A and B are shown apart, each in its own frame.
Chain A
Amino acid sequence: MSDNYYEPKDLADFPNITEYAHEQGKNFFEYYAEATGPGVLTEREKALIALTVATVRHCPYCIDAYTNKCLSLGVSSDEMMEAVHVGAAMTAGDVLAHSTQMRKVIKKKEM
C-alpha cells in the first residue's frame, strides 16, 4: 500500500476496474465509451460536460483525464474555466434550492 489514498499513477489502473466483476466492468466500459463518444453532441462538448462533472464530484483522476482531453481537443482555458463556473453555479444553486426544505421547516415550527 502507498502512503496516499490517491496516486496519479493509479489513473492508468482504471481499465482494471473490471477485476473481480468482469461482466459488469465490461458492460460499464461499453456504456462509458458510448456515452462519452461523439453523438448528437460533439466529443468536445461532452469532454467539457465531463470536466464539469469531474470538478463538481471532486474526482482527481477525472479532472486530470478530462483536462487533458479538453486540451487535446483544442478547448481553451477560458472555455474550461467557464464550464467549471457552470458547475460551481449549479452546486451553489443546488445548495440554495435545498434551503426550501429548511424554510418550510422554519415556517412550520416557528410561532
Chain B
Amino acid sequence: MTSSEQVRLLNDNPLNISFHKRIISPLCANSIDILQINVGKRCNLSCRHCHVEAGPNRPEVMDRQVFEKCLQVLRDHPIGTIDITGGAPEMNPELPWFIQEAAGLNRRLMVRSNLVILLEEPYEHLIDLYADNKVEIIASLPDYHEERVNRQRGEGVFKRILEVMRLLNERGYGKPGSGLVLDLVYNPVGTYLPGTQQALEHEYKTRLESEHRVVFNTLYCLVNCPVGRYLDYLIRSENFEDYMHALDTSFNPSTIHCLMCRNTLSVGWDGHLYDCDFNQMLGLTVECTPSNYINNFDFERLRNRKIVIGNHCFSCTAGAGSSCQGALEK
C-alpha cells in the first residue's frame, strides 16, 4: 500500500472516528528537544509489525550531505537529544563517522538498534564504538517469550538478541553505575494494547535475569501504530476496525500535553522534516514550507509549528499514551 493509500484508509475508515474532533483545538509543537534522525530504511530483518516496512533490499539510505546538515543544525541550536533510528541504523555506512561527530557535541545520544545486526559482519565492532562514545542503546524486544518474539521478528531472533545483550552487559551496558544505558522496547505481538509499563518492566527484569542472565535499564512500552506492515497485518487479519475502535475508546486526553511530536522533530533519510517517524512513513512532512527540509531549517518557525495529525495519532493517546520514550503517563 502506498503512503497516500494508507492515509486515505486511516482517515476514511468506516468507524467514523476522528482524531481531529477528539483533540478539539489544533495541536502545536512547543519546543525541539529531540532530533530524531531516521538514517534509512535498510534493515537485516523484515519484522511483521514494522511501520517503516524496512528490509534488506530497501534503497533509502541517508547520505553524508544530509548527515552534515543535521550536525550543523545540532551545532547551531540547543537540541538536547539526538535519537538515531532506521531501519537498522548500523547498515548506513556513514553511521560510525556520524556517531563520533555527534558524540563530540555533548548531547544525549541514542541509537535504536535491533541488536541482532551486531552479530553480523561487518557490524560487530560497533559495540565498541557505542560504548566508547557512551551511546544509549534502545533495543526492541517485543516479549520475553521466545516464540512470540520470533513470530514477529523472525526465526532465531530471540536467542540472537539475548546473545548481544550478554555482550553488551559484559561491556557494562545495562548495569547501574556504568554510565552505559541499555533500554528495551516492548510492543504487543498482536492487536492488543500494552499493559502497564511498570508491571511489564518488573516481569521483563525478573524473567530476563533469572532465565537468561541478562540485565537492562528501562522498559519502554509502545502501542503499535497502524502504519506500514502493521496496517497491512490489521487489514489482512480483519482486525483493522476492532483495533481502531480499541484505540479510539482508549483515548486519554491527559496524554495530549506530553505527546512526543510536541518536542521532537523527525528527519527523513533524504532530509525532509516530519512531526514524527509515523508521519514520515505516511509521507506527511511538517506544515512549515519551506522549512520542511533540513537545508531550510528554521528553528523558531519549527518549534511552534502546527502538528500534522490523522487517525494514526490515536496510537499515541491510547491508555497511558505512547511515545519513542515509552508510556506518557508513568
Q: Which residues of A contact B (CB under 8 A)?
A: 9, 12, 38, 42-44, 68-69, 71-74, 76
Question: Looking across the interface, which residue of chain B has its beta carbon closest to that of A47?
Answer: B195
Q: Verify A73–B193 contact, CB threshold 8 A.
A: no
Does B199 interact with chain A (Cβ within 8 Å)? yes
Question: Looking across the interface, which residue of chain B has its beta carbon closest to that of A69?
Answer: B195
Question: In the complex, what residues of A have CB within 8 A of residue B203's CB?
Answer: 44, 73-74
Looking at A9, A44, A69, A74, the one whose CB has the most chain B CB atoms below 10 A away is A74
* Top-3 shortest CB links A-B: A73-B195, A72-B195, A71-B192
Q: Verify A42–B199 contact, CB threshold 8 A.
A: yes
Question: In the complex, what residues of B have CB within 8 A of residue A12's CB?
Answer: 245, 249
A interface, over-half SS? helix
Partner of A74, one of B200, B245, B249: B200
Q: Verify B202–A72 contact, CB threshold 8 A.
A: no
Does B4 interact with chain A (Cβ within 8 Å)? no
Please, what's the 1-or-0 string for B269-286, where 1 marks a CB less than 8 Å from any CB in chain A?
A: 000000000000000000
Excluding A68-B193, A74-B144, 7 further A-B contacts by CB distance (< 8 Å) are A9-B245, A38-B199, A42-B202, A43-B195, A71-B192, A72-B188, A76-B145
Q: Verify A43–B199 contact, CB threshold 8 A.
A: yes
Q: A12-B249, A43-B195 are in contact. Are A73 and B200 (CB under 8 A)?
A: yes
**Chain A proximity of B170: nearest CB distance (Å):** 26
Does B190 interact with chain A (Cβ within 8 Å)? yes
Does B194 interact with chain A (Cβ within 8 Å)? yes
